Amino acid sequence: MPQDTHDGRVHCSECGSTYFYDAEFRQYGSGGGLSPSDHTWSTKICMGGHPLLPGIASSRSVEVGQSLEQSIHAAQEQRARMSPDRIEADLAHDLITQAEIQAATDRLHALETILEQLRQQQALDQAAPG
Ligand SMILES: [Zn+2]
């Protein structure tokens, strides 16, 4: 994620924070307790928790770079799912709107009217056969 430096300070492109802490990331193996990998990736994390992303290419191996990138994308996707806009969009996708429920109610009433007309016609037909 490119940072903005228009006033000579590094700004987080996500939240605008100009304060960061230095963070060092490494992978851990799960066999027989946590064992850290030799590879580390250092970056700066803003106060909002967003990483400054340059530096992936300088990772020591393609494999580390790829798994690091996967981790970053997974974390960013998780963060995106937590954003109010995304939550609202997901809810809009899953929930019915008032207009939609009104349209469905109108349609149900129309079907009930047709059904009632058919029942009345059937009763008339049975009362006067032939
Ligand atoms: Zn930020």
Q: Where are the domains of the chain?
A: 20-86, 96-127
pTM of the full structure: 0.52
48 CA from centroid of ligand 1 (Å): 4
119 CA from centroid of ligand 1 (Å): 66
99 CA from centroid of ligand 1 (Å): 38
CA R_g for the chain: 30
Pairing of strands 28-29, 35-36: antiparallel
Query: Going residue by residue through the chain (130 aa), what tens digit of pLDDT does each one get?
Result: 445 566 788 899 888 999 999 998 888 887 777 788 878 888 899 998 888 876 555 555 777 778 888 888 898 888 888 888 888 888 888 888 899 999 999 999 999 999 999 999 999 999 886 6
16 CA from centroid of ligand 1 (Å): 6
Pairing of strands 28-29, 20-25: unpaired
11 CA from centroid of ligand 1 (Å): 8
What angle, rounded to 10 degrees, do the helices at 84-94 and 62-81 form? 70
